[in-house]
Amino acid sequence: MGKSLHERTEPERARGLRAALPWIVPGLLLVNLTLFLLATPSGWLSRADMVGYAVCHQIPSHSFSFAGSQLPLCARCTGTFLGALLGLFGQVLVLRRRQASAFPPVGILIVLVSFTALWAADGVNSYLALIGAPHAYEPSNALRLVTGSLNGLTMSALIYPVFNISLWRDPLDRPGIRGPGDLGALLLLEAGLVGMVLSGQGVLLYPLSLLSALAVLTLLTSVNSVLAVILLGQENTIEGWHEALKPISVGLLLSLIQVGVIDLIRYAITGTLGPIPTLH
């Protein structure tokens, strides 16, 4: 006779949960996406705005506009999130450092940390200017974009090895960014991103808007996927992308829930789906 529910051991329950996930998670993802599409204004640009609404103040004076429409993220967040997405893309497809699980060498880390320090310093200066306090220099959206993209590159250099060392059974013990040449290649990609945004070409409105939303979800999903493998007890057990779809799907589900909950909280506090009123 099979064991009763109360007689099951905790490992058996965990295995049962993991076995059910391939059915549960897609269903929850479908429900979550349906609710998001029904609850948000129609149009892909508006829905991209709602993803950005969860992580960015969206102040018009601090944001870039294309063809009369504002991007979903402010200049600093545009640089940060798109810069991080580009940094991940660069490590995987340009440098071809797939499953690299080591952090960059100390010298490269120092440079990357200095990028984040510049981003933070410019952010403080910009905030002081916003509230009318003494500040070192006049802020600009171009500088917000540049320091944001540099910080995004730093984020990608830290998130990528953590993701790989958490998921894969046999991660490669090498850094995604090995030296100055690799860093230079990624900086060229970031410079291309900055140039595209500063160009102001109306044809870039949809690509940049949708990529901004994708970048937010990608970063959240990367972090939440690591949390998922820990909760599922699958650290260092994944052998291929087919197996990785399970924790990544859970990570995406958690990310969509995060975005929805933050959007609801922000709307309840501000009463608007637009920029934060007190800073508008």
Q: Select from 74, 86, 78, 65 the least CA-distant residue to 204.
A: 65
Beta strands of 58-114 (E only): which ranges? 65-66, 69-70, 100-102
Q: In this model, does residue 1 exceed pLDDT 70? A: no
Name beta bridge partners: 65: 70
d(CA 216, CA 236): 25
The mean-pLDDT minimum among 14-18, 177-181, 204-208, 226-230 falls in 14-18
d(CA 222, CA 174): 19
For the chain, the structural domain boundaries read 71-279
Give the model confidence (pLDDT) of 107-144 as tens digits: 999 999 999 999 999 999 999 998 899 999 999 999 99
Give the model confidence (pLDDT) of 208-231 as tens digits: 999 999 999 999 999 999 999 988
d(CA 137, CA 126): 9
d(CA 71, CA 145): 12
pLDDT at 33: 79
pLDDT band at 13 (very low <50, low <70, confident <90, very high): low
pLDDT at 18: 61
d(CA 140, CA 137): 9
Mean pLDDT, residues 179-194: 97
Cα end-to-end distance, the chain, whole Å: 67
Q: Which of 27-36, 42-51, 109-118, 233-242 has the highest mean pLDDT?
A: 109-118
d(CA 257, CA 78): 22
Mean pLDDT, residues 48-64: 95
